[in-house]
Amino acid sequence: MDIKAITHLGRFKDIIMTLLKYGLDDVVERLDLPGKFLIERIRGVDREMSTRERIRHVLEDLGPTFIKFGQLMSLRPDLVPYPLILELRKLQDEVSPVPFPEIRMLLEKNFQRPVEEVFSTFDEEPLAAASLAQVHRAVLREDGHPVAVKVRRPRIRRIIENDLYIMDIIARQLDKRMDGPQAYDFPNLVQEIKTALRRELDFTIEARNMKIFRGNFASTSEVRMPELFQKYSSEQILTMELIQGRKLKDLDMGALADRENLARRLLLFTIKQIIEDGFFHADPHPGNILILENNDICLLDWGMVGRLTRQTRYELVDLLNGVFDKDPERVLLSLLQFSIRRGSVNQRKIEREIADILDAFHGLPLQEVNIGHLMLDISNLLRENHLQVLADFAIMIKTIVTAEGTARQLFPDLNVMEEFRPYVKGLARERWHPDSIFDNLRRTFYKFLVFQKNLPTRLDSIIDVIDRGELNIRFQHENLGGLRNSLESSTNRLTFGIIIAALIIGSSMIITTGVRPLLFGFPALGIIGYLVSGILGLWLVFNIIRRKRY
């Protein structure tokens, strides 16, 4: 264990205690975290709770970093089974607000002047308080504009960085202790989480996302984006126009006027972002959708976005056309472009299973076909067959699932496939337009020129490595993780037994010497040795019996 890990022993203890509190003993055993042997088991967990509920409660109890981790994982159907995604969606991100004096200090440090010189009024009570930030209503002194001021919680970055370091250790432990072929690259997954969380902590990135969205929807009057006040924004503060409306989650969806039109606009709003723009809000759930008085839509919280390159969007068109045409081979070929292999892959088996999924959905009326759930089923199929889809593609699937689910809550008979078709056809036309074909050829030719230019240098490097005798061939074992863990456990028990035997022999020798001080007429040191060896021996026997390793 390195010195930095030792400084975090208190946090490791919190994590272990929380896992044990909710009955996740096997997780503690598998992770082998620092300090786990110092903690007594906790009994009495509510056994009526499902494993999914326990995971959610653990994340909530461990605080903001783990809550955000759960929320980010709820966007990854390629990594998390859908029932667990539904449970993670329930994660409570509402916390007690930071006292206003601390908020005032942060504002004045950023603005380099008193709050009263920037705002004519500033509500001390926040409109909302979450784990990373809280939002206050204010009025700009400069022009009297009502604004919402999003302020990052003081010290939250340090808390998150410490927890991310611990997540690194956990990921490395998982990577070492997983049996068989690795389904996931855990250290790389934590790196993705780190990047996403750090981006959420930097409000200049959210401000940039808002600007991009405003540009993409500049010609659409039915979609609103709050005006950004760059002059009064920074990495820790985001000042934007205060838009009056009601969150969709707070409305009675069945009682809304013109529900069909609103459902269609919400869905098309997401489809346009994904297929036309390649830049989309990653979490368009009803809590992030504001409905204005005239039924216009305003999307809140642009900290998490997804991006698709032009080539990825073209491949997405191939995938959707394969779904529309019930062509499993085409669907599989498209999916392989979005996937990373994590083990042996049987393409014929996957193709047959994709055909089964398409058959099930194509037996339904068009208005009952759920595109999002169809893609979720395919994503789950890939995960079961050692294929991991790329992060942005996985987030896109979850975005479609969320947007489609919200639209169907408003209007259950919405024909989602028909809403997709015009956008898919439009992008297909763009793809095969002569200008696009020429541009693609130009890019391919440029890549070929770069490749052939670098090829001699790369070949020289390979030959040089061979000449120096430094060529290494790596072999990776499969399904030996369990054997390794068993050997480690057996070796530890054997070592413990030898130590106990040595204590007994040493204590016996001391007893025969009659050396002082005496306890009950025998040397005290020998008596203590017997007691210690007896306690350790009982603990070892109890451990062996409890784990049924005898």
Q: What is the pLDDT of residues 71-84, one digit of tens each?
A: 888 878 777 888 88
Q: 99 lies in a domain?
A: no
| Inter-residue contact 41 to 20 (CB < 8 Å) | yes
Q: 338 lies in a domain?
A: yes
**What is the average per-residue pLDDT within 152-173?**
88
Between residues 120 and 519, which one has the greater pLDDT?
Answer: 120
pLDDT at 183: 55
- 382 and 421 housed in the same domain: yes
- 356 and 428 housed in the same domain: yes
pLDDT confidence of 228, banded at 50, 70, 90?
A: very high
267: left (phi over 0), alpha (psi -120 to 50) or beta: alpha
Q: 475 lies in a domain?
A: no
CA separation for the pair 61, 33 (Å, rounded): 18
| Inter-residue contact 177 to 486 (CB < 8 Å) | no
CA separation for the pair 478, 499 (Å, rounded): 34
Tokens of 330: 């085409």
CA separation for the pair 300, 18 (Å, rounded): 33
- The rounded percent of the chain whose pLDDT value lies above 90 is 21
Cα angle 173, 179, 183 (rounded to 5 degrees) comes to 85
The CA distances from residue 412 to 43, 89, 253, 256, 517, in Å, are 45, 21, 11, 14, 85
Q: 235 lies in a domain?
A: no
Sign of CA dihedral 74, 76, 80, 81: positive
CB atoms within 10 A of CB 344: 9
pLDDT at 451: 80
Long-range CB contact pairs, 1-8, < 8 A, 24+: 1/34, 4/165, 5/34, 5/169, 6/34, 8/34, 8/162, 8/165, 8/166
Q: 186 lies in a domain?
A: yes
In the block, residue with structure tokens 């992030």: 288
Tell whether the model's pLDDT for residue 176 goes beyond 70: yes
Q: Domain limits at 173?
A: 3-92+162-195
Q: Looking at 180, 195, 210, which one is the last position of a domain?
A: 195
- 11 and 43 housed in the same domain: yes
- 26 and 48 housed in the same domain: yes
Tell whether the model's pLDDT for residue 171 goes beyond 90: no
pLDDT at 378: 84
Q: 113 lies in a domain?
A: no
Tell whether the model's pLDDT for residue 546 goes beyond 60: yes
**What is the average per-residue pLDDT within 114-134?**
93
Count structural domains, the chain: 4
Tell whether the model's pLDDT for residue 143 goes beyond 80: yes
Which of 29-33, 40-44, 308-312 has the largest mean confidence? 308-312
- 312 and 407 housed in the same domain: yes
Tell whether the model's pLDDT for residue 520 goes beyond 80: no
Ranking 249-253, 301-305, 409-413 by mean pLDDT, the lowest is 249-253
- 337 and 461 housed in the same domain: no
| Inter-residue contact 225 to 299 (CB < 8 Å) | yes
**What is the average per-residue pLDDT within 136-148?**
95
Tell whether the model's pLDDT for residue 511 goes beyond 70: yes
- 494 and 462 housed in the same domain: no
- 370 and 462 housed in the same domain: no
pLDDT at 17: 85
Which residues have C-beta within 8 Å of that of residue 182, sequence separation ≥ 6?
A: 175, 342, 343
pLDDT confidence of 152, banded at 50, 70, 90?
A: very high
- 183 and 40 housed in the same domain: yes
Cα angle 536, 542, 545 (rounded to 5 degrees) comes to 140
pLDDT confidence of 46, banded at 50, 70, 90?
A: low
pLDDT at 133: 92
Tell whether the model's pLDDT for residue 149 goes beyond 90: yes
- If DSSP codes are grouped into helix, strand and coil, which group holds residue 464? helix
Q: What is the dihedral of CA 76, 80, 83, 86, to 10 degrees?
A: -40
> What pairs with residue 150 in β-bridges?
135, 238
- First-to-final CA distance of the chain: 30
- 320 and 457 housed in the same domain: no
- 420 and 534 housed in the same domain: no
Tell whether the model's pLDDT for residue 181 goes beyond 50: no
Q: How far is CA 60 from the centre of its chain?
A: 15
**What is the average per-residue pLDDT within 29-39?**
58
Ranking 91-95, 405-409, 461-465 by mean pLDDT, the lowest is 91-95
pLDDT at 231: 92
Q: 65 lies in a domain?
A: yes
pLDDT at 370: 80
pLDDT at 38: 47
Q: How far is CA 271 from the centre of its chain?
A: 23
pLDDT at 418: 85
Tokens of 498: 């030898």
Tell whether the model's pLDDT for residue 526 goes beyond 50: yes
In the structure, how many helices (H) and strands (E) does the chain have? 21, 15
Q: Full-prediction pTM beyond 0.85? A: no
- If DSSP codes are grouped into helix, strand and coil, which group holds residue 307? strand
Between residues 520 and 311, which one has the greater pLDDT?
Answer: 311
Q: 36 lies in a domain?
A: yes
Phi/psi at 135 (5° precision): -115, 130
- 501 and 422 housed in the same domain: no
CA separation for the pair 457, 497 (Å, rounded): 58
- If DSSP codes are grouped into helix, strand and coil, which group holds residue 540? helix
Ranking 88-92, 95-99, 161-165, 531-535 by mean pLDDT, the lowest is 88-92
Q: How far is CA 370 from the centre of its chain?
A: 24
| Inter-residue contact 187 to 168 (CB < 8 Å) | yes
**What is the average per-residue pLDDT within 507-514?**
79
Which helix (H) or strand (E) element contains residue 183? none
Tell whether the model's pLDDT for residue 88 goes beyond 90: no
